[in-house]
Chains A and B, each alone.
Chain A
Amino acid sequence: MIELLAQTGLNALYAASYTALVAVGLVLIFGVMGVINFAHGELFMLGAYAIVAVYADWNLPYLVAVAVGMTFVGIVGLGMERAFFRPLRDNPLGGLVASIGFLMILQALVSMGFGVRMEHVPPVTQDVIVITERVRLPVFRLAVILAAVVLLACLWAFLKKTRFGWALRASAQDPEAAALQGISINQTARIAMFIGAALAGVAGALTAPLISVNPHMGHSVIVTAFIVIIVGGIGSLEGAVIVAVAYAFVHTFVTTFFDGVIADIVGLLLLLVVLIVKPTGLFGSTDRA
């Protein structure tokens, strides 16, 4: 039983790592721009397809492919900000509808470019750390966990220690006051969108060798990310990280000890309970609720 618990814990850590990356990106975009980006799952998908193109098709090193994926998806995010979210800044519903439309466009474009079938991504490494006969941690999964921790730490440092980070936080707290202080709303929106999209892209790129890469893979990720950011409190980065970890552990353990369908029900029940007891989310503020 101890071995089963340990293996499940390792599985949960991995799930928490990529879920946190996706959810934090989603929260950052909402926090600064006030837009619910429904296309966030498709940005995750684009990151995975960057791996298909650069690593699987062009045979370039995996880390190069991850860097390309992160940058490319960040640039797509910049395009979304300029094309959809900026013109619709005063219309939050408009931004949401535009993102829904854009997700369909992205799915169609990827289907046209790569086909609709699942893509094959060769394994980066098949090495496994054998802790005991029944507790194993694939090296690549460990790398994903470490990469997520490093990226989130970098984001935290950026937000807390740099002028751009301060500007982002100020814009998230009170856009009008931030503008009166000379902070460019357009610039902070661009930075937020680039970072948020890049985080989704890098999550997709990191996990691509481990999951089925197809044009519709963003769907399940976005559902989980929405549960996480609503429970964590929309607009709360800390909440997103903490709840991503908690949700991943709950979901993974329930899947292992009961089944995956029950795990989904438990996740949605948690969402329901939080919405009833604390509608702003566990770490959310009233302003953004």
Chain B
Amino acid sequence: MVAKMFKDVLTRRSLLGSGAAVAGSAAAAAILPRTAFAQDKVVKIGFLAPLTGPVAAWGKPGLDGCLIWGEWINAAGGINIGGEAHSVEFVAYDNEYDPAKARTGATKLIREDGVKFIMMLGGDTWPGAQPVADRTGMLFSTLLPSDLSPDTTTLIAPCEVHPIYNVTGVEWLADNMPELKTAVMCAQDDALGLPSVATYLAAFEAAGIEMQDDPLLFDPATTDFAPVVTRLISGNPDIVCLDTCYADYVHPICEQLFQQGYGGQVISCTADFYQQIVAKTSEEFMEGFVFQFPDFDDPALNDESINFQKPNEFYAEYASRYGADQWGAVSWEYASIMDLWKAGAEKAGSAEPDAVLAAMKEGGTGLHAFGEADWWGKDLFGIDNALVGNWPIVVIEGGKATIKEFRSIPEWYAKHGELLKKHMSAYGQMWDQRT
């Protein structure tokens, strides 16, 4: 406990510091051979995500993953830009999932820290940073392509095509369990929940699964989910869909489903820290739970089509530092984005945002973590700035997340794209409907 407190105090202090370089990177730099890099050859990357607050589960684990990535890259000689080795340093700013703080953070990272690239979670915080991106031309990434629009050409979604990949889970479910005919869904009423609702509605319609009721929206401040679950299962649905609920909601909802005696299929975008859900319910209850984010110790990730450096070792290192039960949806994602950025910078021979962006998008294709992918999105986002390819379907078996299959998002879209656009429009989530 004392050790835990000490560790967290350090973490917290580093967060509260005025954008100080993250301690892990500095420590790694200190133990590396001094000759590896000229002292001034450091490329700084901004990490502008929620590190505290209710959405921290989709920021902090990503920073933790980036620290490992940075240490490994620096230990291997850094990033070769224009023939010179550069060490990489992450500069974190906690935006607390607050648009105003995102704006302040973006300005500070660019003006004071001189970062060359800023990674964000996006969602509600993107409107805060967008004016800064438009004014400075800084290259930003988001995990949520629903932030994309033609208004900002320097925003890319190179890793996670949330929520579009959710269609693969529903498609897999329909193919493997055709007896499931009805579904219900709940979601928090926010910028993360609503586009996901539209996507799941399209996916269920495409799969011939009937929605028993309109999606049940709840206030993000909800703490007691018993009423939500009572309503959800009142019609005895075959499938309960948890949309893209935050971990703080997925856990109590699952616990309520268990306690209120639900025995059907559950599907969710994420199941962060799912071991805790298993502990609060039972292995039997969680058996067959479908979601979209694998543990990186999965042997399926060792396939040569996977573009992520040593995924199993990465997971082992993450688990040894932070605990396996702290692995979450975003633990690998920001690191994966850094793989793409590194390749772009090395290809461009420059860390400047416009040069890296042009190199990344050259030819209209790129290497996504889960295989080759296309820069895509004009239909839905008004701009081809999302890197879209395959995505895994993950099922909990024996209390452990297991990749069952990779499925192609573009193939699904080619068949059912109009359905997706119909539901996105109905929820006001098309790029030209967003304000």
A114-B8, A120-B279 as given contacts; A215 in contact with B227, CB under 8 Å: no
Q: Are A259 and B230 in contact (CB under 8 A)?
A: no
Q: Are B228 and A255 in contact (CB under 8 A)?
A: yes
A220-B221, A261-B217, A261-B218 as given contacts; A117 in contact with B1, CB under 8 Å: no
Give the number of chain A interface residues (Cβ < 8 Å).
53
Q: Are B224 and A15 in contact (CB under 8 A)?
A: yes
Chain A residue with the shortest CB-CB distance to B59:
A116
Answer whether residue B53 sits at the interface, using C-beta atoms and an 8 A cutoff. yes
Q: Are B252 and A210 in contact (CB under 8 A)?
A: yes
A212-B223, A257-B231, A261-B218 as given contacts; A136 in contact with B8, CB under 8 Å: no
Chain B, range 214-249, C-beta contacts under 8 Å to A = 216-219, 221-224, 226-228, 230-231, 234, 247-249
Residues of chain A lying within 8 A (CB to CB) of residue B4: 114-115
A216-B54, A220-B222 as given contacts; A256 in contact with B227, CB under 8 Å: yes
Q: Are A111 and B12 in contact (CB under 8 A)?
A: yes
Answer whether residue B361 sits at the interface, using C-beta atoms and an 8 A cutoff. no
B: interface residue count bin: 35 or more
Residues of chain A lying within 8 A (CB to CB) of residue B305: none
A11-B230, A211-B252 as given contacts; A116 in contact with B60, CB under 8 Å: yes
Q: Bound complex: CA of A53 vs CA of B230, how far in Å? A: 31
Q: Are B279 and A128 in contact (CB under 8 A)?
A: no
Q: Are A216 and B53 in contact (CB under 8 A)?
A: yes
A114-B8, A136-B261, A211-B223 as given contacts; A120 in contact with B230, CB under 8 Å: no
Question: Of A138, A212, A219, which is within 8 A of B251 by CB?
Answer: A212
Answer whether residue B108 sits at the interface, using C-beta atoms and an 8 A cutoff. no
Residues of chain A lying within 8 A (CB to CB) of residue B309: none
Residues of chain B lying within 8 A (CB to CB) of residue A90: none
User: A198-225 toward B: CB 8 Å interface, digit per residue (1/0)?
Assistant: 0000000001001110111101110100
Residues of chain B lying within 8 A (CB to CB) of residue A136: 259-261
Chain A, range 107-135, C-beta contacts under 8 Å to B = 108, 111-118, 120, 122-123, 126, 128, 130, 133-134
Residues of chain B lying within 8 A (CB to CB) of residue A72: none
Q: Bound complex: CA of A112 vs CA of B5, how far in Å? A: 7
Chain A residue with the shortest CB-CB distance to B7:
A115
Question: Of B9, B248, B260, which is within 8 A of A7 by CB?
Answer: B260
A8-B230, A212-B251 as given contacts; A116 in contact with B51, CB under 8 Å: yes
Q: Are A116 and B56 in contact (CB under 8 A)?
A: yes
Residues of chain A lying within 8 A (CB to CB) of residue B280: 120, 122-123
Chain A residue with the shortest CB-CB distance to B10:
A112
Residues of chain A lying within 8 A (CB to CB) of residue B279: 120, 122-123
Q: Bound complex: CA of A16 vs CA of B219, how far in Å? A: 18
Chain A, range 206-259, C-beta contacts under 8 Å to B = 207, 210-212, 214-217, 219-221, 223, 251-253, 255-257, 259
Interface hub of B9, B217, B227, B255 (most chain A Cβ within 10 A): B227
Chain B residue with the shortest CB-CB distance to A255:
B227
Chain B residue with the shortest CB-CB distance to A221:
B223
CB of A23 to closest CB in B, whole Å: 15
Given contacts A136-B259, A136-B260, 12 further A-B contacts (CB under 8 A): A7-B230, A7-B260, A12-B227, A116-B51, A116-B56, A212-B252, A214-B54, A220-B222, A256-B230, A256-B231, A260-B222, A261-B218
Ranked 5 nearest A-B pairs via Cβ: A260-B218, A220-B221, A212-B248, A255-B227, A11-B226
Chain B residues within CB distance 8 Å of chain A: 1, 4-5, 8-9, 11-13, 51-54, 56-57, 60, 189, 216-219, 221-224, 226-228, 230-231, 234, 247-249, 251-252, 255, 258-261, 273, 276, 279-282, 325-326
Would you list 30 pairs from A and B whose C-beta atoms are within 8 A, ordered by A residue?
A: A8-B227, A8-B230, A15-B226, A58-B1, A108-B12, A113-B5, A114-B8, A115-B4, A117-B60, A117-B326, A118-B57, A118-B248, A122-B280, A123-B280, A126-B259, A128-B261, A141-B226, A212-B223, A212-B249, A214-B248, A217-B223, A219-B221, A220-B223, A252-B227, A256-B227, A260-B189, A260-B216, A260-B219, A261-B217, A264-B219
